[in-house]
């Protein structure tokens, strides 16, 4: 093991530079917001929570943002508590999800927008989320949980021990959303039907969308697993209940309620689908970041998770983690001191080095904290590399238990020493896949229409789920449908 020779890390007063690593307050611990002035109507354009945007990113689509603002405002005015509904935002995440925060803001991911197949499905889910706001489910839950800091990977793949050891690095890894009980979900379903039909949409489409979500969860070919079902627990009778309520709502409306399939599909034509490789992607055991122009290897067999704030790799049995985070600008020394303080390292040792022409500092040290029994002591050991690329500094934080450090330190080292400039044109020029809307010809089934548009057989079931259809379904002449391509 060719480890660098370490020297004691000098400490001193300095500004904390590693904002994304540990100084970003977890949403579960965020200070209470100042009370907002109560208004009679929803506040159009109310600002989203910066921590939600830091986690997911903001979708750059004025057309879709206008759409959600218009429908959200309309539904907010028709709701039982218009003043509680504050704003609407589409975030740039491939995860299939929609959620409402206790402050009255509704968020949709671009992932869920891609899977809707008409305006009525969107409206049903929008009504469901506004229902959580107007029924004040989030405020009731806040004493027990809010948008939490539990890591997507660290909370599920890593062991509980390592997850607790890596707490400073996990604070912004993922968002665990408010989880509601069956009574709250049923009430929001009821309100979703009520609000959707009030603004003229067929609420039965919300039940149909539940089936699409279930298919994405069951299919290994789906692009991403829907978080919506984990934060909104499903039940076998939920589909039937919503269908029954929808029939009653349409009878009360006294008219046929809108679905607006073609209008919606044209609206999402060109929407990014799945992970956006411009923000980093994994291929062949390597993480590539085209926009930042670097690459590094991932330990063989490790799981990985990318987000706007960091990239993390986890040993599959939960024994070690490596997290890549931006460490601000300034000097390497200042960044190293800030990192050591934020990780609460005891007597950290540091060494200057060079990694593929990039100036770097390696830090080894023991993290001090409380163990699961509440005892103060050494809870993790780290081998961390800070790497300077021009005005940017990146930290590759490797954490494991002290007893397994000798096992995983070489992997921490190999990952960091593989950090290099990305120069391959095929990797640098990688673009996201996008939803493309096509028109069916006479006599086509969905399967034959997909084949005619170049969709490989291995992805046709995925495309069927995306369209909310079966491959054997017959399409009418001129019917619109989705495919995915560059």
Per-residue model confidence as pLDDT tens digits over 309-352: 788 899 988 899 999 988 876 899 999 998 888 888 988 999 99
What CATH number does the domain containing 286 carry? 3.40.1000.10
pLDDT average per 10 residues of sequence, the chain (486 residues) = 42 26 25 37 71 86 97 96 95 89 92 96 95 82 38 32 38 43 83 93 90 78 52 65 87 88 98 91 94 96 84 89 86 91 89 97 89 72 95 94 94 98 96 96 97 96 96 98 94
Report how far apart, in Å, the C-alpha atoms of 242 and of each of 80, 83, 185, 314, 345 are.
19, 26, 11, 40, 54
pLDDT of residue 142: 52
In a domain, 2, yes or no: no
Query: Are both 228 and 187 inside the same structural domain?
Result: yes
Residues 164 and 114 placed together within one structural domain of the fold: yes
130 with 264, same domain: the answer is yes
Indicate the residue among 228, 246, 271 that finishes a domain.
Answer: 271
Show the 3-state SS of 113-175: HHHCCCHHHHHHHHHHHHHHHHCCHHHHHCCCCCCECCCCCCCCCCCHHHHHHCHHHHCCCCC
Q: Is residue 16 part of a domain?
A: no
Is the domain of 312 the same as that of 262? no
369 and 441 fall within a common domain: no
Asked whether residue 257 falls in the same domain as residue 280, the answer is no
Give a yes or no: residue 477 inside a domain: yes
Query: Is residue 284 in a domain?
Result: yes
The tens digit of pLDDT for each residue in 243-256 reads 889 888 888 888 88
Q: Answer with the one of 251, 271, 291 that is the final residue of a domain.
A: 271
Query: Residue 436: what are its φ and ψ, rounded to 5°?
Result: -125, 130
* Residue 115 is assigned to a structural domain of this protein: yes
Q: What is the pLDDT of residue 246?
A: 85
The answer to whether 253 and 201 have CB atoms below 8 angstroms apart is no
Domain assignment present for residue 306? The answer is: yes
**Domain assignment present for 17:** no
> How many domains are contained in the chain?
3
Are residues 196 and 238 located together in one domain of the fold? yes
For residue 113, give its domain range: 22-271
Are 346 and 197 found together in one domain?
no
Query: Angle, nearest 10°, between helix axes 238-253 and 182-198?
Result: 30
- Bridge partners of 480, per DSSP, are 439
Does residue 214 sit in the same domain as residue 133? yes
Residue 334 domain-assigned (yes or no): yes
Q: HSE (CB half, 13 Å, CA atoms) of 445?
A: 8
Which pLDDT score, from 0 to 100, does residue 434 have?
97
Check whether residue 314 and residue 225 sit in a common domain: no
How many angstroms from the chain centroid is the CA of residue 314? 17
Measure CA 374 to chain center: 32
**Spacing of C-alpha 95 from chain mean position:** 5
Look at residue 108 in the predicted model and tell me its pLDDT.
95
Query: Domain ends where: 211, 246, 271?
Result: 271
Q: What is the pTM of this model?
A: 0.72
Does residue 281 sit in the same domain as residue 188? Answer: no
Are residues 456 and 418 both part of a single domain? Answer: no
- CB proximity list for 39: less than 8 A, separation 6 or greater: 83
At residue 44, the pLDDT reads 56
């Amino acid at each position: 093991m060719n480890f660098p020779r370490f020297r004691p890390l000098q400490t001193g007063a300095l500004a904390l530079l590693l904002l994304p690593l540990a100084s970003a307050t977890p949403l579960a611990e965020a200070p209470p917001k100042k009370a907002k002035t109560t208004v009679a109507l929803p506040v159009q354009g109310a600002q989203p929570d910066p921590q939600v945007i830091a986690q997911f990113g903001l979708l750059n689509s004025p057309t879709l943002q206008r759409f959600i603002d218009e429908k959200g405002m309309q539904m907010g005015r028709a709701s039982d508590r218009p003043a509680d509904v504050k704003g609407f935002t589409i975030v740039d995440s491939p995860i299939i999800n929609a959620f409402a925060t206790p402050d009255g803001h509704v968020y949709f991911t671009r992932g869920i927008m891609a899977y809707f197949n008409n305006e009525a499905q969107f409206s049903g889910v929008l009504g469901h989320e506004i229902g959580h706001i107007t029924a004040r489910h989030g405020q009731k839950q806040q004493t027990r949980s809010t948008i939490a800091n539990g890591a997507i990977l660290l909370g599920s793949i890593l062991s509980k021990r390592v997850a607790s050891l890596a707490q400073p690095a996990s604070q912004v890894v993922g968002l665990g959303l408010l989880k509601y009980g069956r009574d709250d979900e049923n009430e929001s379903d009821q309100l979703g039907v009520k609000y959707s039909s009030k603004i003229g949409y067929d609420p039965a489409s919300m039940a149909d969308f539940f089936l699409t979500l279930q298919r994405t969860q069951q299919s290994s070919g789906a692009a991403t697993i829907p978080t919506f079902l984990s934060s909104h627990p499903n039940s076998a009778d939920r589909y039937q209940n919503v269908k029954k309520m929808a029939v009653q709502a349409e009878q009360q409306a006294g008219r046929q309620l809108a679905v607006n399939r073609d209008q919606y599909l044209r609206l999402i034509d060109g929407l990014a689908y799945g992970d956006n490789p411009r923000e980093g992607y994994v291929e062949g055991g390597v993480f590539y970041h085209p926009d930042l122009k670097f690459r590094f290897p991932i330990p063989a067999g490790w799981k990985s998770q990318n987000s706007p704030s960091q990239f993390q790799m986890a040993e599959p049995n939960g024994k070690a983690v490596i997290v890549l985070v931006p460490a601000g600008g300034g000097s390497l020394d200042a960044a190293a001191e800030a990192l050591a303080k934020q990780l609460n390292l005891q007597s950290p040792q540091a060494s200057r080095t060079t990694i593929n022409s990039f100036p770097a500092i390696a830090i080894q040290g023991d993290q001090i904290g409380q163990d699961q029994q509440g005892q103060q002591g050494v809870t993790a050991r780290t081998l961390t590399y800070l790497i300077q690329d021009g005005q940017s500094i990146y930290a590759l934080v490797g954490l494991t238990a002290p007893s397994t450090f000798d096992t995983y330190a070489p992997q921490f080292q190999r990952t960091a020493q593989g950090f290099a400039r990305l120069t391959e044109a095929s990797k640098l020029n990688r673009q996201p896949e996008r939803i493309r809307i096509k028109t069916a010809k006479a006599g086509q089934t969905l399967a034959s229409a997909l084949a005619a548009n170049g969709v490989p057989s291995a992805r046709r079931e995925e495309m069927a789920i995306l369209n909310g259809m079966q491959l054997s379904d017959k399409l009418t002449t001129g019917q619109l449908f989705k495919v995915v391509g560059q």
